[in-house]
Amino acid sequence: MAPPGSGLDLKHRIRRWHPLRPAMMQSLAVLDHADEETIARYQDRRLRLLVRLAAARSPFYREWFREAGLDPGSVRTVADLARLPLLDRSHLVTGAERFLVYPDRLVWKAHSSGTSGAPVTCYRTAGSSVFELSVLERQWGWFGLDRSPRRVILRGAFSAGPGEPPAKLLPGARQLLVWSFGLTPRTLPAVVEAIRSFRPDAIEGWPSAITVLASLLHDQGLTVPVRAVITSSEVTSAAQEELMRAVFRGPVVDHYGQAERVAMAGSCEAGGYHVFPDYGIVELLPVPGTSDSWEIVGTALHNWGFPLFRYRTGDHVRSTGPGPCRCLCGRAYPALGRIDGRVSDCFTSADGRPLPMPSIVTTDLANVRAAQIAQRAPGRFEVRVVPTAGSDLQALTAQVRANVDRYFGPGQAVTVRVVDAIPRTRDGKLKNAVIDPDVPAPTSAPDSDKSRCPGAIAYGSHPGEVSPRRGRR
């Protein structure tokens, strides 16, 4: 969740020990049991403060309020949000700094290509990051996890070079980072040993990466009992969830969010899926041409340094539309239906390793309106880009190649192709990672040392078990 880089451990320490964290946790605990009226008052109060701050200090909103002739003080409740303009990713492809109200040295930068394929830059304050962690820990608490649980992380923040261990400890974060793109039968023993020594409370990461690890463990007849499996960034299939539960012996706890951090939602212990209304205000706008699909539009209530109001996430949800929640958990949090999209194809490296979430290669590309990475054959990739005016194609190509080496490992072939547009799916989505072979797929059996991108798996008994904590099954 924290921004990648050499300061990752320091930023995690800031998140854990921030002086405002106890007050945030207390406020969130109160709102966890609040009624709809109390939550509405909280949202209205935060919205008023953020709108006035943005109108005074954000170059974008200062100009917009002046040209629109609208008094910022007239935006007093969630019902008044409709007076503000809708934003989308095009506002952040270039010119994201115009939304800043704090100097850039006081905020953390993040990148994302989301489900639209348009890489964007956004910012957040340290306080916003602390608040987000507190919101997530509240959700994890619904499933019995303590504050600051020890977590094995399978995302893209860590890469291991040749001969380096496939796992890295972040003591300040109580995290063990595992190289998500280096999971094979050959590296599994070292990963298992690192997990055994770490004794985690939870496994956290991309569903596709967690599934690769779970598949390898299952093939060896091993389980790793933890108290929860925490997923995000992709939609988890029924087969993936079944495998995770079988191998890790804990509930799957999912949450939905974006790099722009305008909205958050997640699963509850009663099986529901809820908007977290103290994190952000969510509007559901009907998707044209459909009767049961809605676009998620978010307004963050916590990021004082980079306010975004009515931001179109591009994510669609299957729902009956806005309405009250009737979940058995008893919380007055709006229900959210199944989120469409966010399903990634799993690529294969030149040496046969599975490559989950391959779109990470395009997330930090600068001056690009849209990008897509395609697998043409194992270990051979094509990155298609729609550049902005004045884009430095030489620097762009160098960045792509550096990203492929960092995440996928050396020995891969990659080309960059400039295009006018990238085709979209029937529902208007742009898949930022696709398998697009230019030769027939081989029919021979995979090498015994090569892993695979797992799909549906039949589960049997587990004769062996890796026990991360003594006495727990």
Q: How far apart are CA 385 and CA 145, in angstroms?
A: 42
Domain at 347-435, CATH class: alpha beta
The residue extents of the domains of the chain are 8-339, 347-435
CB 304 within 8 A of CB 102: yes
Question: Which CATH architecture describes the domain 8-339?
Answer: 3-Layer(aba) Sandwich (3.40)
Is residue 366 over pLDDT 50?
Answer: yes
Residues 6+ away with beta carbon under 8 Å from 40: 77, 78
467 band by pLDDT with thresholds 50, 70 and 90: very low
Q: What local confidence, expressed as pLDDT, does residue 350 receive?
A: 95
CA 230 to chain centre: 11
Q: How far apart are CA 318 and CA 336, in angstroms?
A: 8
CB 38 within 8 A of CB 44: no
Q: How far apart are CA 142 and CA 136, in angstroms?
A: 10
Q: What local confidence, expressed as pLDDT, does residue 473 receive?
A: 34
Half-sphere exposure of 379 (CA within 13 A, CB side): 8
Q: What local confidence, expressed as pLDDT, does residue 226 receive?
A: 98
Mean pLDDT of the 427-440 span: 76
Residue from 95, 94, 93 nearest 58 by CA = 95
Residue type, 453: C
455 band by pLDDT with thresholds 50, 70 and 90: very low
Mean pLDDT of the 4-33 span: 81
Is residue 381 over pLDDT 90?
Answer: yes
Q: What local confidence, expressed as pLDDT, does residue 8 receive?
A: 60
Residue of higher predicted confidence among 287 and 114: 287
Residue of higher predicted confidence among 13 and 217: 217
Residue of higher predicted confidence among 6 and 274: 274
Q: How far apart are CA 299 and CA 172, in angstroms?
A: 31
Residue from 336, 255, 346 nearest 297 by CA = 336
Q: How far apart are CA 35 and CA 418, in angstroms?
A: 52
Mean pLDDT of the 249-263 span: 95
| β-sheet with 280-286: strand ranges across | 280-286, 293-300, 311-318, 338-339
**Do the domains 347-435 and 8-339 match in fold?**
no
Question: Tokens 């008023």 map to which residue?
Answer: 48
The answer to which of 348-362, 386-400, 427-441, 458-472 has the lowest mean pLDDT is 458-472
Q: How far apart are CA 14 and CA 126, in angstroms?
A: 8
